[in-house]
Amino acid sequence: MHALEIARKMAALDEKAEAVKAFKLALNECQGVDEMAEMECALYILQFGSGKDYKVSFSTFVDLHKRGFMQSETKDIMTLAFYLPNSKMQKKRYEKNCRLLKKYPYIFRRDFPDFEDLPVKFYPFDDNKYVPYDVREQGFGDFFAPQHQVISHNFFADLEKPILAADVFSQYELEYLNDNVRRSEHIGRENHIYLHYTDWQIFCSYLVVWDLADILKERKIVYLIEDEIEQYPIDFKERYGIDYSQYPVRMPGIREYKRLIWHTQLSAHNGGDFFNEILDAHPNILAWPSDIFEELVENFNNYERKLKEAKNFQQAKKNLGWADSQILEELYNLSNRTLKDILVALYCINIQRTSPNIDKTSRIVPVIFFQPHFYNILYDIYNFKPGVAKLISEQYENLCKSSFLSDFKYIKTFTPMRRITTSYGATVKFMLTRDIEHKYYMNDAVITRVLNRSFMIDWQNRLFKDSVLVRFEDGKLNPKATFTALAAFLDLPYTESMTYCSLFGERDPESLEGNDIGFSTAAVYRTYDDYTNDAERAFIEYFMRDVYEYYGYDFHYYQGQPVDKIQVMAWIKNFDKINYFMRMTLPNVLLVQVKNDMKQQRLDEKILPDKLPEMQQDVTKLLIDDYMKQIEENRLKAAEILMGGLRFVNKNGQPLHMMKKLELDPALLEQPLYR
């Protein structure tokens, strides 16, 4: 308890700032060891701390109460310090929501209890998060964030009947339902959202933290309390005299599309095309093939420029040359138009070609399916501090800044992963076979692959708050279990369209020449021995051993032995395949560069390559030797950083964590899980 002694001395000397620092250290030392000392630390930090120091005390008091330590005292401190200063504002919000509901036609109870009698009280941790206190059970619950940007239910699993959901307490999910379930008048049938709450008193308690004003405006929600569930679904024509069948069906407007599925590109040849083909013909998805991100940015900025230059709609139509005048007119007239609006408009204009199976009478607004693509995702690695590496990728930084993604209110992110050594071998093969005109050279695909940790995410990054990783092998070997689970995560119904592969509705396409078609499992077991060797694959497995463990892959090349610098150097010295391909392709690039230089100087290309001077060939060899020496040095440098520990931070020093893996229902497995 050395830190506690120092903290007490600083407090006695009235050195409050230093004492607070010391009490924080002491709290870490005594946590779970001396509860009275924990209480002392938390009280001092609460009284004399500044800024966000109060959060340390808040969490400590809640934890002590849960452990049964001085529950009366910790509850009183929490009430005086955190609840009462905010209770007036909470009461005001509660009474406002009660007034709104008393006027609302589709709630059938009006006996709202007094604010003071609510069975759950919310203790504010900050502006976005609370800890509820159950008056009946006399205990604190878990942290609760009403606007936590995660959809945790499969609300839209069954669209045959109106949406029915029980005990939805998240403000974010309530807004999500209201935004994505279509108005009954827009699809020509009764389509209200039925929210069933199993306890009236608990429901009323959450009126303290909700803001229902905007949610109630469109009158989409029907509240069913306790036994009122028997009324589901209500016949609105019989009960209210409203016949929704008289209304014509219409497609959603551009800004009704608020929901995005972002299919991320982990790296090349992870099965992205396969997943695109599974989701292609879904009746509730507006799909689009993969597009190169840089080209998208350029094209969309160009569209926006042409729209701004147009003095009227007719000129905008001429400038862009789009076929669908109605959607273009809507886009042109939007105020504060964004690139996201242009993206949605293009999806809508191309709907007949790209999404011919879309259900125009569906109960929900279609979700936009988007996969911005890169030729390659490159990461740089730096020492952040001992045992911690910093990873930076320009491509991912650009994506995270992109309004294509961030302007959507609701984002579900999923990333396909294929066994890393397999995707590496497939990538090398593709890089060699695509280069028909000998314009490209092989990059150091080993290090590129080892440093690519796109599946590691900063949980504070909004784009990844609701994300999951899906194994390619699971999709191929256990398609029903995989795509049932993926549909549930994406909050979609599992439909017949997810039982086959298609592109623009056409079944079993050959996405790239030579690709395996449909659910063929050949790609799962292919090892690409002609394009990689065991040294390269053992190196990859060792430096991604945490990934293998977390996502359930067995080692096939690294044997699990301790590894030192000598072993790493031995692996690198035996990178025969990748080194050969790099040396083989570099002269092609150098030759193309020479030809380009000659064109600029108006020299005769016919002298190349037959009459390329012997000296130039020697220079080329020296350049390649020097380049390969630098490559080997870079490999060793990266390996040395990684050998310090497999802990990573982003450019801002924020810890990176593994994206959670999609878990499959064991009852739906057709084959044992791939290892």
Quote the pLDDT of residue 512.
67
Q: Where is average pLDDT lowest: 108-117, 338-347, 512-521, 636-645?
A: 512-521
Quote the pLDDT of residue 552.
97
SS3 508: coil
**What's the average model confidence in pLDDT over 83-98?**
98
**What's the average model confidence in pLDDT over 458-472?**
93
C-alpha distance across the termini of the chain, in Å: 47
Whether 108 contacts 223, CB under 8 Å: yes
Q: Is the pLDDT of residue 448 over 90?
A: yes
Whether 195 contacts 216, CB under 8 Å: no
**What's the average model confidence in pLDDT over 513-540?**
92
- For the chain, the structural domain boundaries read 1-69, 85-248, 380-658
The two tokens of residue 184 are 């009954």
Q: What is the mean pLDDT of the chain?
A: 91
Q: Where is average pLDDT lowest: 111-120, 159-168, 274-283, 509-518?
A: 509-518
**pLDDT confidence of 286, banded at 50, 70, 90?**
very high
**pLDDT confidence of 376, banded at 50, 70, 90?**
confident
Whether 540 contacts 449, CB under 8 Å: yes
User: Which distant-in-sequence residues (6+ apart) come within 8 Å of 575 by Cβ?
Assistant: 446, 533, 535, 536, 539, 635
Quote the pLDDT of residue 373.
86
Quote the pLDDT of residue 435.
58
Say what the pTM is. Answer: 0.92
Of the two residues 296 and 490, the one the predictor is more confident about is: 490
Whether 38 contacts 60, CB under 8 Å: yes
Burial class (CB in 10 A: 0-12, 13-18, 19+), 578: buried
Residue 39's nearest CA partner among 65, 13, 3 is: 65
Quote the pLDDT of residue 616.
55
| Alpha carbons 26 and 447: distance in angstroms, whole number | 43
What one-character DSSP code corresponds to residue 144?
B
Element holding 266 (H helix, E strand): none
Residue 550's nearest CA partner among 417, 445, 665, 429 is: 417
Q: Is the pLDDT of residue 475 over 80?
A: yes
Helix-strand-coil split of the chain, %, nearest 5: 50, 10, 35
Quote the pLDDT of residue 608.
45
**pLDDT confidence of 515, banded at 50, 70, 90?**
confident
**pLDDT confidence of 3, banded at 50, 70, 90?**
confident
Quote the pLDDT of residue 289.
81
Indicate if the alpha-carbon torsion angle 457, 459, 464, 466 is positive or negative.
Answer: positive
Quote the pLDDT of residue 474.
98
Quote the pLDDT of residue 602.
47
Q: Is the pLDDT of residue 530 over 70?
A: yes
Q: What is the pLDDT of residues 295-346, one digit of tens each?
A: 988 999 999 999 999 999 999 988 888 877 899 999 999 999 999 999 999 9
| Alpha carbons 58 and 77: distance in angstroms, whole number | 9
Q: What is the pLDDT of residues 54-69, one digit of tens each?
A: 999 999 999 999 999 9
Q: Is the pLDDT of residue 260 over 80?
A: yes
Q: Where is average pLDDT lowest: 152-156, 259-263, 516-520?
A: 516-520
**What's the average model confidence in pLDDT over 176-203?**
98
Residue 450 one-letter amino acid: V
SS3 204: helix
Q: Where is average pLDDT lowest: 160-174, 215-229, 253-267?
A: 253-267
| Alpha carbons 282 and 159: distance in angstroms, whole number | 13
Quote the pLDDT of residue 163.
98
Written as one string, the DSSP assignment of 85-121 is HHHHHHHHHHHHHHHHHHH-TTB----PPPGGG-SEE
**What's the average model confidence in pLDDT over 632-661?**
94
| Alpha carbons 504 and 485: distance in angstroms, whole number | 23
Q: Is the pLDDT of residue 123 over 50?
A: yes
Burial class (CB in 10 A: 0-12, 13-18, 19+), 406: middle
Q: What is the pLDDT of residues 389-437, one digit of tens each?
A: 999 999 888 888 888 899 999 999 999 999 999 999 999 998 888 755 5
Q: What is the pLDDT of residues 577-614, one digit of tens each?
A: 999 999 888 876 666 555 554 455 444 444 445 544 55
- Own/partner contacts of 524-527, CB < 8 Å, gap of 24 or more, are 524/422, 524/472, 524/473, 524/476, 524/477, 524/674, 526/422, 526/425, 526/426, 527/421, 527/422, 527/425
Q: What is the pLDDT of residues 29-47, one digit of tens each?
A: 998 899 999 999 999 999 9
Give the sheet arrangement for strand 164-166, strand by strand. 164-166, 193-197, 221-225
Indicate if the alpha-carbon torsion angle 164, 165, 169, 175 is positive or negative.
Answer: negative
